Structure 1
Amino acid sequence: MTTLPTLLFQRVPALVVAAGERASLRFLEFFAAQIRNPHTRRAYARAVGDFLAWCEAAGVPSLMAVQPLHVATWVEGLTRTHAAPTAKQRLAAVRHLFDWLVTGQVVPLNPAASVRGPRHVVRVGTTPVLDAAEARALLDAIDATTPGGLRDRALIGLMVYGFARVGAALAMRVEDVYVQNRRLWVRLREKGGKPHALPCHHTLEDFLVAYLDGAGLRGDPKGPLFRTLGRGTGQLSARPLPQASAHAMVRRRVAAAGIETPLGCHSFRATGITAYLKNGGTLETAAVLANHASTRTTQLYDRGEAVSLDEVERIRI
């Protein structure tokens, strides 16, 4: 079996092994049973692996010997080489692991519980976004006469007009695009498997209908909505499109449209939310459409206070 923790760790870290078989089992259960999101699991595995390797190099003999000073020193080192959010995330991974080990009676206390991460305050999001004209130009530049072009336009359109996270979009089945009250709707499964349904913007509806009809997908309702292209054929396969391939596609489409802004998949979601707020949309509704748990997250996409080029040009020297 090569899933879950066995994919994350080729071997259990030495400090965990030194704590005994029970500690090793509890350690693996943390990743298998406590963390359902595969992206979070990978990130936490990297963070925990890095910390335990650091402790081993520092001469810490076992898990029970890990002290708050060790955690604090490791975090201090992270802040010199990584951004504050990265250091905070890695500290959170270590803290959660030791919480799990404490409740499993592997260690008596959580050495990370009293360690504070670096201060990080975000008022405006840093994800690059496109203005409306650039986003439209990119979508118009996609050749929609091929299955690949229809797919790419529909996927990017879903992220722009439906505020979809790329992971949720790629997890969709054909049946997740459906008609309700004479309008096309999409059903997404967001973080934690939470279902999220919303009606389509008329442009997104056009993109999805053209994709479903042009690619002949309607006869396979249980199949993946976004699929890979067969090697050398240019036709859609039955395999779902991996996230890495979606990111590569976005880079190709951005370059082909002559856009120099470094964009990722999340930039399209951010572009849609930003455009909605600029055109008078409310934070509360935007939070619902984006499936945010709090309007504080949605507010990061409000670039209303950003300094405009006109203001900068007032500096006449």
Structure 2
Amino acid sequence: MTTQLARLGPTLTLPTLVASAEAHAQRRFLEFFAVAIRNAHTRKAYMRAASDFLVWCDARQVRALADIEPLHVAAWIEELRSAVSAPTVKQKLAGIRHLFDWLVIGQVVPVNPAGSVRGPSHSVKRGKTPVLAPEEARQLLDSIDVTTPAGLRDRALIALMVFSFARIGAALGMRVEDAYVQDRRLWVRLHEKGGKRHEMPCHHSLEAYLYAYIDGCELGDDRKGPLFRTIARGTGQLSTTPLPQANAFQMVRRRASIAGIRTAIGNHSFRATGITAYLKNGGTLEKAAAMANHASTRTTQLYDRRHDAVSLDEVERVLI
């Protein structure tokens, strides 16, 4: 049985264990994704986790949702640990746990089989996101040909992530009106996770790049339109369609390759690059957390890569 819910994004195919259940259970299963989860990325991840787990159970002769036991969840988690990273396993377990909590509340199943299952231990003190040295970041920005709308857009987007520590999702979610003047300075308004609104003034370089982009592409009159847009096919001009995150990732990789940067960077690299550069120049961890809109400085510390240079210096002491 296949049920399509347009608001959920991709087509959701009911797993056999759900499709064979009564209508109330099917509806409750679908409502979990439509009602209980607002973040699109979390919804997609939990959909995948639920589908994978229920297909796994069906292949092992589990015939009803109520027949799923903690042993099934634990065995699935153990299999996952040999195939994917610990954070991925923990995310999938969280999805299953939240789903069955929802089903218990809806009286579809009597208990949550994932409630007592522990995930793998995972402790992170240093982030794995590749970062650029300040010289490389400047090299990348200067290498972009800004005689085209695409070049003006790409430079402004990369600079926004570097100088404001913006997440790619928040940057791509901006409207033209989210770049505004206050106290004679350009500010940016970022719509972060959980519906949080984060506002901060622009670095002078970012201010110049945003003005060049908005004025050069004549976006000023379309205040409600997306700030970062795709390029209309065959015209070389901006469309009215927001730039997708996957396209931004491809753009970043392409621009880095053209600039001769060999580090395998992604969209998130610029957030870490900006935070590290800020801290290297005397910034405080507390201020960096506020600028990055982190709830805790522990999160900000994952982006602090100042110790990488120290480690490299020490390695070079091995003189043979």
The TM tier, using the shorter chain, reads: over 0.9
Q: Which residue number in structure 2 is paired with residue 101 of structure 1?
A: 103
Offset at residue 275 of structure 1 (A): 1.2
Structure 1 contact 8–42 (Cα < 8 Å) conserved: no
Offset at residue 316 of structure 1 (A): 1.2
For structure 1, the 5+ residue unaligned runs are none
Q: Using the alignment, how far apart are the partners of 1:90 and 1:131 within structure 2? A: 34
Offset at residue 8 of structure 1 (A): 4.1
Q: Using the alignment, how far apart are the partners of 1:26 and 1:2 within structure 2? A: 14
| 1:1-317 → structure 2 map (5 Å cutoff) | 2-5=5-8, 7-9=10-12, 11-306=13-308, 307-317=310-320
Structure 1 contact 8–45 (Cα < 8 Å) conserved: no
Structure 1 contact 159–268 (Cα < 8 Å) conserved: yes
Q: Using the alignment, how far apart are the partners of 1:26 and 1:244 within structure 2? A: 32
SS at match of 2:121: coil
Offset at residue 18 of structure 1 (A): 2.8
Bigger Cα displacement from structure 2, 17-26 vs 62-71: 17-26
Residues 16-65 of structure 1 show CA distances to partners (whole Å, capped at 9, x for unaligned) of 12331111101000000111111111111111100000000011111101
Q: Using the alignment, how far apart are the partners of 1:5 and 1:186 within structure 2? A: 29
Q: Using the alignment, how far apart are the partners of 1:166 and 1:99 within structure 2? A: 31
Q: Using the alignment, how far apart are the partners of 2:241 and 2:262 within structure 1? A: 31
Bigger Cα displacement from structure 2, 184-193 vs 275-284: 275-284
SS at match of 2:200: strand
Residues 146-191 of structure 1 show CA distances to partners (whole Å, capped at 9, x for unaligned) of 1110000000000000111111111111111000011100001111
Aligned partner letter, 2:74: A
Q: 1:46 to 1:312 in 2, by over 3 A?
A: same
SS at match of 1:81: coil
Structure 2 contact 5–11 (Cα < 8 Å) conserved: no
Residues 289-313 of structure 1 show CA distances to partners (whole Å, capped at 9, x for unaligned) of 1111211111111223334322111
Residues 93-141 of structure 1 show CA distances to partners (whole Å, capped at 9, x for unaligned) of 0000001111111111111111111111100111000010000000000
Aligned partner letter, 2:209: F
Q: Using the alignment, how far apart are the partners of 1:205 and 1:117 within structure 2? A: 45
TM-score by length of 1: 0.97
Structure 2 contact 272–304 (Cα < 8 Å) conserved: no
Question: What is the alpha-carbon root mean square deviation over aligned residues?
Answer: 1.2
For structure 2, the 5+ residue unaligned runs are none
Q: Using the alignment, how far apart are the partners of 1:221 and 1:308 within structure 2? A: 47
Residues 222-256 of structure 1 show CA distances to partners (whole Å, capped at 9, x for unaligned) of 11101111112111111111111111111110111
Aligned partner letter, 1:231: R
SS at match of 1:109: coil
SS at match of 2:77: helix
TM-score by length of 2: 0.96
Q: Using the alignment, how far apart are the partners of 1:240 and 1:7 within structure 2? A: 18
Q: 1:247 to 1:6 in 2, by over 3 A?
A: closer
Total equivalences in the alignment: 316
SS at match of 1:185: strand
Structure 1 contact 78–87 (Cα < 8 Å) conserved: yes
Aligned partner letter, 1:199: P
SS at match of 2:18: helix
SS at match of 2:283: coil
Q: Using the alignment, how far apart are the partners of 1:40 and 1:254 within structure 2? A: 29
Structure 1 contact 162–200 (Cα < 8 Å) conserved: yes
Offset at residue 84 of structure 1 (A): 0.6
Q: Using the alignment, how far apart are the partners of 1:309 and 1:87 within structure 2? A: 32
Q: Using the alignment, how far apart are the partners of 2:142 and 2:59 within structure 1? A: 54
SS at match of 1:228: strand
Q: 1:277 to 1:8 in 2, by over 3 A?
A: farther
